[in-house]
Structure 1
Amino acid sequence: MKKLLLSASFLLIGITAISQTARVQVVHNSADLAAATVDVYVDDVNTLDDFEFRTASPFVDLPAGTEIELSVAPANSTSVADALLTVPVTLMDGETYIVVAYGIVSPTGYNPAPPLSLEIFSGAREAAADPALVDILVHHGATDAPTVDVVETGVGAGTLVDDISPTEFQGYLSVPEADYNLEIRLADGVTQVAGYSAPLATLGLEGAAITVYASGFLDPSQNSNGPAFGLWVTTPAGGPMIELPEGTLGINGVTNNTFSIYPNPTTNMLTVNGVDTQNLRFTMVDMQGRVVKDGDLFARNTINTASLSQGLYVLNLIDNNRVVSAQKFIKE
């Protein structure tokens, strides 16, 4: 029924468009639990009814050359008058766009809580410019994540995305169809917060243009226990996002399972286990990339965390000025 409504709504809008049109894909990437399902209106037409989080519409024709209004309303809306957000836009004839719902609608329970917005990218692609490659657009849509880099470590491609901040797009990147390993690092280029596999060859994406979204919360405990951070992919056909599998968190080839930490979450003290701490230093880095605590471990294996503010941190172990392993932990 939803697909029938989607097709009928876009047909109705298309009839009113006269001659100038633009291609548009709408993506729901607002991780607020209160916005898990929404209605999306084009002018006063409920075009995407019960549109779920981490879902994309297909690319469709919308009127261009004249102002239209894009609105996001609660899933139980009865008209556009119920909208939480309305954004007037004038699309260019013949252009292709991606419109992403981003941000928070709840008054409390989220930290930080940037307001709901529609982030619009022009110059979108429905296929790769070179049919032998895969074209990748990247959007940073995680509200509590800092500016990050995306570094490929499997085939040695290096830094693919440099200093991307929330709401920003970067790309397109044109890469061979292969299976890649990705590290999400803080802007210092060293501290890693997550790792993922990007199996482009396994998914058979040669010739495709895709968008990779940072989605969800790095620290769900500070965000109403909402959906956890991950990398998710949309294709021009739309539908549910495709989740990239989480890989091993590693730095310079040394994986995070070389040591363990407990308790995690912690309050006053963190214990490091499974590694010889005699000659190691440590740093604790917050999600803004700031070193909030550092020192020598020597023979001890405990670190006092009482002075840290609540939130998500990365503990780096350092040997001869080289980060050899890392673990995320939560301070309560």
Structure 2
Amino acid sequence: MKNITTFLTAIFLLALHCATAQTARVQVIHNCADLAAQTVDVYLNGTILLDNFAFRTATPFVDAPAGEAISIVVAPGDSSSAADGIYTLNTTLTENETYILVANGIVSSTGYSPNQSFELSVFSGARETALSAGTDILVNHGATDAPAVDAVETSIPAGTVINDLSYPSFTSDYLELATQDYILDITDQTGMTVIASYQVPLATLNLEGAALTVLASGFLDPSMNSEGPAFGLWVATAEGGDLIELPLANQTARVQVLHNAADLAAQTVDVYLNETLLLDDFAFRTASPFVDAPAGEEITFSIAPSNSSSVNDNIYSVNVTLEADGTYIVVANGIVSDSGYSPSQPFGLFVYTMAREMASMETNTDVLVFHGATDAPIVDVQAVGAGTIVDDLQYSNFNDYLELPTADYIISIATADGETIVASYQAPLSTLALEGQSLTVLASGFLDPSANSDGPSFGLWAATSAGGAMLELPLTTLNTNEFETKRISVYPNPAADNITITGYDFTANLTHRVYDAFGRQVVNTTGNTIDVSGLSEGIYIVKSTNGSITREQKIIVKR
């Protein structure tokens, strides 16, 4: 409230002064990126005009005295009077002229390179509205570490519209443009190196008839400038207020779409990005590859029946804004039918925002887990030898990536209390040569198909980054009950070189698989002895099988 009150008081005093005196129109824009000048006070003839005037804000156009000498003083935001000023501009404004004053440059003595001195850059002949039906744009180069630049319009294309603009200059006059959306490349003077590309959405922002000031603002290299604000193009309107950042153009994110909606009515669907058909007849338990999608602007994903003729046939849509250079996984999941499914979890697109296209380490396989089984309870995922690796995962949730050494694993889906095993699966990462890859493993289908229109049964399915049909993880059996009635001895335990298994009259027919603490299979042998001499010290699980009879035993290797 203090800032508004101070500004209104200053305007009132100016109005009293200007009621009978000559006047000019003035707008002030704060574009000084020095962190020491994030807010400043501006004094006119010793009277505070702007209190705590913030970086990347602008005043509206106001009347100021003309035809007489005036003093404009810029002071720190905590100043007590104009005597605290760090910069003074003594000038005489011309009656009935219109001015834009831009605060640019550096006030600190160190920490900025190059250290361009602070100043008020002045443009006379400013406009408060466009001269005609279009949009008029004045450009100021206020980026202290940026070279002289060109601006090249590429969407029409109109070519070079600004040539060799250097700090802290304005363009010689306004660009008088038709009010439409443009793409502007900022290049070096040669026009060969594009510094950045920007959207200039004049039509989208309804700026017909407006006069704007576009400022090159911030630092190309913040690391050389006290980690100050990064370079961008920002727009001041004649009404003032916060500057408007122009969004970067041609920004993209990476997106993979997975179809995991087990509803029979959605066995195949069409996927639209905005109004464009992205995936035609996209089948259940398939995945797209990762593709580029627009970022930095709102886009719409829509799901429609497979016989759709346009996006208007959609049964579900969601608006999202993807971050530039982000990587996303989008899972289509849930029920679209009105009846026949229990529980009827509503259809939706579920988004994971930190996806990976490859493993974080070349020797690993990174596994993202998604619970997409609409009638399954909250579950744990257990790995043989490693215990619980996913805890209390509920429907529609992701579990962050598991960064696993690439080996063959045995995993079980258990109830949240860990007491009841729903099913056990092989996860043959090594056998399938998945080293260095990232996967999404989905709980898919129905635990009780009879209550869900006899839809596909529950299982674990894996999608690779390359897309295509998902891979079904094969079921396996962990049966300990039949072994409980038979006596078994494993000795010595701990062991250094070999262990012996006794207690059966069929030990010669036993198959033994040994798993380390990560669930990796490290030994596969038969008979009644197991050679552990090549294993590192630690705890291992021995899974012994004879036909349908299986038992697990913990052993310790110690030397």
Fold shared by both chains (TM-score > 0.5): yes
Alpha-carbon RMSD across the aligned residues, in angstroms, is 1.4
Q: Which residue of 2 aligns with 1:39?
A: 41
| 1:14 positional shift | 2.9
Q: Do 1:193 and 1:249's aligned partners in 2 also have CA atoms closer than 8 Å?
A: no
Find the counterpart in structure 2 of residue 7 from structure 1.
8
| Equivalent of residue 248 in structure 1, options 226, 236, 250 | 250
* 2:105 paired residue among 100, 103, 106: 103
**What amino acid does structure 1 have at the position aligned with 2:162?**
V
* 2:240 counterpart residue number: 238
- Equivalent residue number for residue 156 of structure 2: 155
Match of 1:92 in 2: 94
CA contact (8 A) 1:140 1:215 kept: yes
Q: How does 1:309-320 map to 2 (within 5 A)?
A: none
Equivalent position of 1:285 in the other structure:
none
Partner of residue 199, structure 1? 201
Paired position in structure 2 for 1:175 = 177
Structure-1-length-normalised TM-score:
0.74
Structure 1 runs (4+) greater than 4 angstroms displaced:
none
CA distance in 1 between counterparts of 2:231 and 2:55 reads 13
State the secondary structure of the residue aligned to 1:16: helix
1:58 aligned partner: 60
Letter of the 1:152 counterpart: E
How far apart are 1:8 and its partner, in Å? 1.1
Q: For structure 1, list consecutive stretches of 5 or more residues without a partner in the other structure.
A: 256-332
1:3 Cα deviation after fit:
1.9
* In 2: Cα distance, 1:234 partner to 1:115 partner: 23
Superposition deviation, residue 112 in structure 1: 0.4
- Secondary structure of 2:174's aligned partner: strand
Match of 2:224 among 197, 213, 222: 222
Counterpart position of 2:129: 127
Q: Show the 5 A alignment for 1:289-304.
A: none
1:211 to 189, 210, 213: 213
Deviation at 1:36, TM superposition (A): 0.3
Deviation at 1:35, TM superposition (A): 0.2
TM-score (norm 2): 0.44
Retained in 2: the 8 A contact 1:14–1:63?
Answer: no
CA–CA separation in structure 2 for the residues paired with 1:4 and 1:36: 20
Q: What is the rounded CA distance, in whole Å, between the counterparts of 2:251 and 2:145 in structure 1?
A: 19
1:73 match: 75
Q: Residues of 2 paired with 1:248 and 1:67: CA distance?
A: 49
* Structure 2 gap segments, 5+ residues each: 253-291, 293-559
Matching residue's letter, 1:155: I
Give the secondary-structure state (helix, strand or coil) at the position aligned to 2:192.
coil
For 1:116 and 1:235, the matched residues in 2 are separated by 23
Asked if structure 2 preserves the Cα contact closer than 8 Å seen for 1:147 and 1:187, the reply is yes
Aligned mates of 1:85, 1:140 — CA distance in 2: 20
State the alpha-carbon separation in 2 of the partners of residues 54 and 80 from structure 1. Answer: 22
Q: Does the 8 A contact of 1:23 with 1:94 survive in 2?
A: yes
AA of the residue aligned to 2:120: L
Aligned partners of 1:144 and 1:25: how far apart in 2? 25
Output the amino acid matched with 1:19.
Answer: A
Per-residue displacement from partner, 1:242-279 (whole Å, max 9, x unpaired)?
Answer: 000012389xxxx9xxxxxxxxxxxxxxxxxxxxxxxx
For residue 311 of structure 1, what is the aligned residue in structure 2?
none
- Which letter maps to 2:10? S
Match of 1:20? 22
CA contact (8 A) 1:195 1:249 kept: no
Give per-residue Cα distances to partners, 1:272-298, cap 9 Å, x unaligned: xxxxxxxxxxxxxxxxxxxxxxxxxxx
Higher relative contact order (Cα pairs below 8 Å, separated by 6+ residues): 1
For residues 94 and 7 of structure 1, the distance between their equivalents in structure 2, rounded to whole angstroms, comes to: 22
Q: Which amino acid in the other structure matches residue 149 of structure 2?
A: V
Q: Percent identity, please.
A: 55
Quote how far apart the aligned CAs of 1:241 are.
0.1
Report the counterpart of residue 136 of structure 1 in structure 2.
137
**Structure 2: distance between partners of 1:16 and 1:203:** 37
CA distance in 2, matches of 1:122, 1:240: 22
